[in-house]
Chains A and B, each alone.
Chain A
Amino acid sequence: MSTADLVANAVSKRFADTQAVDALSFSVERGSFFSILGPSGCGKTTLLRMIAGFIAPDSGDIAIGGNSMRNVAPNRRPVNMVFQQLALFPMMSVGENVAFGLGQRGMGRADRMRRSHAMLERVGLGGASAKRVDELSGGQRQRVAIARSLVLEPTLLLLDEPLGALDLKLREHMKIELKQLQAAFGTTFVYITHDQSEALVLSDHVGVMSNGRFEQLGTPQDLYYRPQTPFVAAFVGANNRIVGRTTNRDGALVEIATTDGWTIHARGHGPIAPGDAVEAFVRPEAASLAREARELPGGQPNHTGQVQSLLFDGANSAVLVQETRTRREFRIALPQTGQFSDLKPGEAVLFSFDPERAVCFPARPGAAGRDTAGSDG
C-alpha cells in the first residue's frame, strides 16, 4: 500500500506479566484521522509510544511513510507527538517552543522564529509568540503544542489523549478545532483516547482496543451501527445489554430468553445455536416508547414497563423503564417531539424495538454479569 503513512505488522510488546500489545497489524492511510479507542490499561499508550519510538516492540515492525522504523531513535523519526500534559517548555517563550524543533534541524534563529510566527498565525495565536507558556489558557496551550509539532511537517502526528486535562466545555470546543486543524493541514493524525465520543466525532477510522488487540477496526458508523464484538457494542455508545440463552433461531433472527423469563428478539452475529448463552444489545434510540399499543410501530414484539426515572439531558434525554415482569431496567431515548414531556416516574408504558436493530453475540467467557441499561461508556 503506497498511500499508507503508518503500517504496523504483527507488533507485540510484553511487560513482566502482561501482554500490553498482542500481535497488532493495521495501516493508516495518508491524510486520515485515525483513533485508537480503549479503556485505560488496554495497551493504547504502549502502542503510541512504540510508534513514537520511546519503546521498542518485542517483535513485529512499524513502518512510517514506507520506511521501517526498527532501530530509529525518536529524534530521527518523521513523527511528532502531542503529549497528554502537553509538555510545553516552561523555560522558553511560546515562539521558542514552536521554533525548538526547527532549531534541532540546524535552521538559523531568524528563519526559525519567522516560521514559528507563521505557524502560530495559522493556529490563531498570532500575537502570542513572546508570551510565557503559563500566560496562555488551556485551549491556547493545546494549540501551541500542536503547532510545535506541525511546524516540523511530520508524516504522522501522534496525540496522546490531549483533551483529557481540559474541562468539558473546552473539550467540546477543542474537538471541533482539532478536526478543523487536521483538515487544514492534511497531516495524518493518530489519536488515542478512552473517550468514545472524541473518537467518533474526530476520526475517519477507529480501532477499538482491548487487552492489547483490536476488537474492531472501522469507520465510526461501522462501530456504532455494526459492532462485531460484544466489547465494541458495550464500549461504543450507550447500549442496553441483556444476557440470556437462545431458545429459537429463525434465519438471522434469534429468540432470547433471560433466566427470569423475559423474551426478546435480536439479529444474531456469529455462530449461535439454540441453547447457547448470548449477550444482546439494544441501542436506546432503537426502541420506541408509547402509552398505548396502537402508537407503537406494527410487526414488532411489544413489552410493557413502568417509568423508573427520567434522564433529562437536552437532546440526549432518555428514560429508564422497568420491564413489568422482570423489573429489569431498559434505557429508551426520548424523541425530540416533546410528545413525552409530561412523562412521570411510575407511569405505565409500552415499548418495542426492531429486532433487526438489536444484535446478539455468543456470550464472552466470564461476562455473565448483570444487565446494564446503557450508560455512556
Chain B
Amino acid sequence: MDSALETRWHGRLSLGLLLAPAVLWLGALIVLPHVDLAVLSFRERVGPRQYAASLAQYRTFFAEPLYWRVFVRTALMSVAATLLTLLLAFPIAWVIAKLSRGRSSSWLFILCLIPFWVSETVRTLGWMILLRESGVLPSLLVKLGLTAVPVELLYHDATILVGLIYTSLLFMVIPLISSLESLDNSLIEAAYDLGAGGFVILRTIVIPHAAPGITAGCIVVFMLTLGNYLTPTLLGGKNSQWFTEQIYTQFITRFNWEQGAAFGFLLLALSTAMVVIGLRISGQRFGDVMRRT
C-alpha cells in the first residue's frame, strides 16, 4: 500500500478510536432514546396494543390549560431564577477574579464549591429542615419576636427560587470568573482615567468583555433549572407546578408514555428556543459561548 495513504488511514483509525466512546455515549444514551421518544410522542393508542400515528398528544397539551400554564410558569420561573443567580453570582465572581489575590481567591472558590460535596437531595432536605413550620428559621423568628407564631416558609414560589439559585450558583460563578479573569485590569484603569465612573465602566467595558461568560452561565443555569425535578418538588410541594413533574406523572403515575414523551419534547423545544433567543439578545455565537463553560 502507498505509505502516504497508509499514514492517512492510520490517522483516521486512531481518530475514530478516540472518538468512539463519545460517539457511543451520544448515540446509545442520547440520540436513540430521543428517537424512540419522538416516535412515542407522535402516536396514539387506538385499542389494546394498537397504535396509530397522530398529533393527539400535542393537541392535548394545548387544549388543557393546566398543562400549558405549568409550562409557561416553569419557563418564567426558570428565567427569574437565572437572572437572580446572575445578579448574585456576578459580585462573587468579581471578588474572586479581581479583588482577592492568590490563596484567598482559591479559598473563596472552595467556599463556593463546598455545598456540592453534599448530594442535591441532602442539600434540599437541609433547606426543608431550616424552613418548615417547626424548623430552625421559623422558631428563630418567633424567639426574636418578629412573628407571633411559627410561619410556614416552605411551599412558596420564593422558596423554590431560593433552592434553585442555591443549586445553580456555582455553574454561574465558574464561567463568570474565567471571563472576568481574562479582563485586563488596565482596561478598567484606562476607562477610569478617561473620565468614566463605575457604572459606565461596568456597562461599556466589563459586561461586553464578560458577555460570553455571562451567556454561557445563563444557558447552563437555565437548562439546569428548567429540567430540575427534585428542588421544585421538595421545596414547592404540591404548589410547585413544575413541568418536569407533569412529565413524571405521565410516565410513572398514569403510564401514559405517549403524553410524557410529547411533554419531554415540548420541554426540549422550550429550552432550545430560550437559548436561541438568549444568544440573539446578547449578540453572541454559540461556539464562542460554549468555549467559556
A152–B205 Cα gap in the complex (Å)?
19
A76–B195 Cα gap in the complex (Å)?
6
A75–B200 Cα gap in the complex (Å)?
12
Chain B residues near A73: list those with CB within 8 A.
192
Q: Does A269 contact B (CB under 8 A)?
A: no
A91–B182 Cα gap in the complex (Å)?
14
Chain A residues near B187: list those with CB within 8 A.
87, 89
Does A87 contact B195, Cβ atoms closer than 8 Å?
no
Chain A residues near B88: list those with CB within 8 A.
none
B62 to chain A, nearest CB (A): 43
Does A52 contact B205, Cβ atoms closer than 8 Å?
no
Count A-B pairs with CB separation below 8 Å: 59
- Which A residues lie at the B interface, using CB under 8 A? 52, 54, 73-76, 79-81, 83-85, 87-92, 100-101, 104-105, 148-149, 152
Q: Does B196 contact A (CB under 8 A)?
A: yes
A-B contacts, 13 of them at CB < 8 A, read: A74-B193, A81-B193, A83-B190, A85-B184, A87-B187, A88-B190, A89-B204, A90-B209, A91-B208, A91-B209, A100-B191, A104-B200, A105-B195
Does B196 contact A75, Cβ atoms closer than 8 Å?
yes
Binary interface encoding of chain B residues 176-213 relative to chain A, with 1 for a CB under 8 A from any of its CBs, else 0: 00000000101101111111110010001100110000
**Which of chain B's residues has its CB closest to A160's CB?**
B186
Known: A75-B192, A81-B190, A101-B194. 7 other contacts (CB 8 A): A81-B193, A88-B190, A89-B191, A90-B209, A104-B194, A104-B197, A152-B195
Looking at A80, A84, A104, the one whose CB has the most chain B CB atoms below 10 A away is A104
A80–B191 Cα gap in the complex (Å)?
10
Chain A residues near B204: list those with CB within 8 A.
89, 91-92, 100
B287 to chain A, nearest CB (A): 19
**Which of chain A's residues has its CB closest to B189's CB?**
A54
Chain A residues near B184: list those with CB within 8 A.
85, 87
Does A104 contact B196, Cβ atoms closer than 8 Å?
yes
Main secondary structure of the interface of B (DSSP, over half): helix
Given A83-B186, A87-B184, A89-B187: A75 touches B193 (CB 8 Å cut-off): yes
A105–B194 Cα gap in the complex (Å)?
9
Looking at A76, A81, A84, A152, the one whose CB has the most chain B CB atoms below 10 A away is A81
A115–B209 Cα gap in the complex (Å)?
26
**Which of chain A's residues has its CB closest to B208's CB?**
A91
Does B195 contact A104, Cβ atoms closer than 8 Å?
yes
Given A75-B197, A104-B194, A104-B200: A85 touches B186 (CB 8 Å cut-off): yes
Given A89-B205, A91-B209: A152 touches B189 (CB 8 Å cut-off): no
A73–B198 Cα gap in the complex (Å)?
12
B206 to chain A, nearest CB (A): 10
Binary interface encoding of chain B residues 106-147 relative to chain A, with 1 for a CB under 8 A from any of its CBs, else 0: 000000000000000000000000000000000000000000
Chain B residues near A148: list those with CB within 8 A.
194
A144–B208 Cα gap in the complex (Å)?
21
A205 to chain B, nearest CB (A): 24
**Which of chain A's residues has its CB closest to B205's CB?**
A89
**Which of chain A's residues has its CB closest to B185's CB?**
A87
A47 to chain B, nearest CB (A): 16
A251–B197 Cα gap in the complex (Å)?
63
Chain B residues near A75: list those with CB within 8 A.
192-197
Given A89-B205, A91-B208: A100 touches B194 (CB 8 Å cut-off): yes
Chain A residues near B200: list those with CB within 8 A.
104
B213 to chain A, nearest CB (A): 14
Chain B residues near A90: list those with CB within 8 A.
209
Does A87 contact B192, Cβ atoms closer than 8 Å?
no
A369–B285 Cα gap in the complex (Å)?
61
Chain B residues near A85: list those with CB within 8 A.
184, 186
Chain A residues near B195: list those with CB within 8 A.
75-76, 101, 104-105, 152
A165 to chain B, nearest CB (A): 12
Does A74 contact B192, Cβ atoms closer than 8 Å?
yes
Looking at A84, A91, A148, the one whose CB has the most chain B CB atoms below 10 A away is A91
A94–B208 Cα gap in the complex (Å)?
16
A211 to chain B, nearest CB (A): 26
Of A76, A79, A87, A152, which contacts B190 at CB under 8 A? A87
A212 to chain B, nearest CB (A): 22
Chain A residues near B193: list those with CB within 8 A.
52, 74-75, 79-81
